[in-house]
Amino acid sequence: MLPLYEQVYQYLLNEIKSGRLQGGDRVPSEKELAEQFNVSRITSKKALENLMQAQLVERIRGKGTFVVQTLPDLQDSAHPLSSDVFHGSREHTHDDHLLIGVIIEDVADSYGLRLLQSIEECCSQHKMHMLLKRTYGKREEEEAAIEAFLQFGVDGLVIFPVHGDYYNPKILKLVVDNFPVVLVDRYLKGVAAHAVYTDNRKAAYDLTTYLIEQGHQHIAFVSPPLENTSSIDERLQGFSAALTDHGVPLNSNYWFTHFVSTLPAVYRKEDVFASQQELTQFIQRNPEITAFFTCEYSQAMLLRHALLALDPQKASQLTIVCFDYPEQLFNTPLFTHIQQDEITMGKQAIDILFGQIQGQDEPLVSVIPYTLVRVD
């Protein structure tokens, strides 16, 4: 069965071939076609774009879309327009694979690798080719990747947004233009973009509750900067809520929220060393802390190294928990942690993106379950 946008395309093509739509005639708008065929405006827009790429229609700003005055030879069997559909700068045929772009900050064995493997596997199942770009946490790289992929003619995008103070305007434009896009791991507050992520607030609440149940009252919170990163912000919310609900006083002196050395954009050995020095000073200022809630595995490992360097005997009496952990076949994990379901997250992202491309209505929010892995 043809995709919905191709069905609309074929209908309009036949209207032109039959003469019911002639040179200079106005073509139904995206909205009119969407209502006529009961499809989304993404679908009708793509059908019109394909007609324009085939040089059958032209858009006149402020007036609409019209059949071109001089049509190509529609009966030329050597150039069957019904089987040569264009999108962007790339030619499609009915048997062609779809092409998507995947834009991700970085990949690590603790988080990202399984997610990427799942995305690639699901793309293969849907007969979709995949382009990949790592941004290393740099917004300018993210913007450039979006622009490049659109120029190449991708049918949709999966984006793992970078940390930052401001939303990427390129992502906002994709949403406004109804271009098929799915955000992974994070969402943009107040922006109606399709997103697949973990309930970070609840996961952090459960992880903090675990520490409290172990008898800890002085618990540190260690994270990258909070600015406009939904996953980190919600982990702090869950952490704080768990303390409050269990009658443990909040103490912002126990917050170390400027851990930047493990972010992809600034990862250098000298920055890691500087962070270790800052962590050491933080620990020394707060000797009463008995447990550390860290937002990432790499931070947990760096913290553990700092504690061991300070006092190996005391370090063995302290507890560290984190989010995510490298896959272990034989060894017991060092830390109790939240394990996000990267496999399901990747599959869900591609399923939703594929549905958007086909013109289907997909849920805006998809929250993926997680597992609390205890190391007692």
Q: What is the pLDDT along the chain (376 residues), one digit of tens a residue?
A: 567 788 888 999 999 988 899 999 999 998 899 889 887 777 788 889 889 888 899 988 778 899 998 887 665 423 333 333 333 444 443 345 789 999 999 888 889 999 999 999 999 999 899 999 999 888 899 999 999 998 888 889 999 998 765 678 899 989 988 899 999 998 888 888 999 999 999 999 999 999 999 999 999 999 988 776 788 899 999 999 999 999 999 999 999 988 765 555 445 666 677 888 889 999 999 999 999 999 999 999 999 999 999 999 999 999 999 999 998 777 889 999 999 999 999 999 999 999 998 888 899 999 999 999 999 8
Place of tokens 């229609």: 57
pLDDT score recorded for residue 200: 96
Which residues lie below 8 Å from residue 204, measured CB to CB, with a gap of 6+? Answer: 234, 235, 236, 237, 238, 239, 242, 293, 338
Which residues lie below 8 Å from residue 122, measured CB to CB, with a gap of 6+? Answer: 346, 347, 349, 350, 351
Tokens found for residue 210: 């675990």
Tokens found for residue 91: 């030619």
Architecture of the 98-198+342-369 domain: 3-Layer(aba) Sandwich (3.40)
Q: Are 315 and 304 in contact (CB under 8 A)?
A: yes
* 4-92 and 98-198+342-369: identical CATH topology: no
> What is the assigned CATH class of domain 200-340?
alpha beta
pLDDT score recorded for residue 151: 84
What residues pair up with 283 in beta bridges, in sequence order? none
Question: What are the boundaries of each domain within the chain?
Answer: 4-92, 98-198+342-369, 200-340
What residues pair up with 256 in beta bridges, in sequence order? 222
> Does the 4-92 domain belong in CATH 2.60.120.960?
no
